[in-house]
Structure 1
Amino acid sequence: MKVLIKLFATFRNERFKQEEKDLPPGTTIRQVVAQLEIAEEALGMVMLNGRHTPLDQELSEGDTLSLFPLVGGG
């Protein structure tokens, strides 16, 4: 199944801005995060098709997954 993955801010460093991936059915967001070597603790917001979603959500054909890092500052 084809899924569009969008990365934001520091997650783009040495990766990509957006990329369409061909994933096996039943793939979860957690598995995609692990494949991208992103630490779960670094995730600030996870959105699937524009809505907040848990990491254990399975992806479907045509989904758009957006991953945002935690925002720091002071």
Structure 2
Amino acid sequence: MHINIQLFASLSNFTPVSAEKYPIAPGTTVGLLLEQLGVAENEVKLIFIDGKKGDLTSTLQGGERVGIFPPVGGG
């Protein structure tokens, strides 16, 4: 199974080469995915799965588009 991963802003450095077709085992949580990518959970603010808000416990089955955003400041 594969997913499409997009890491934004300061997290983009963690984007794997295979981001468009990143292999996962069915049942992988977003928290486990972050661990595999080397991204600390406290660096993540927003998670979107197929355009809907997700969280660290969201389970992936394959085929999803996953967007991960850090906290962003601005004004």
TM over 0.5, shorter chain: yes
For residues 12-46 of structure 1, the C-alpha deviation after alignment (integer angstroms, 9 at most, x for no partner) is 12635871211111111100111111111111110
- For the aligned residues, what is the CA RMSD? 1.9
Conserved 8 A contact 1:7-1:17? no
Structure 1 gaps of 5+ residues are: none
Larger relative helix fraction: 2
Give the 5 Å matches for 1:19-30: 19=19, 20-30=21-31
Structure 2 gaps of 5+ residues are: none
Paired residue for 2:15? 15
Identity %: 32
* Alignment size in residue pairs: 74
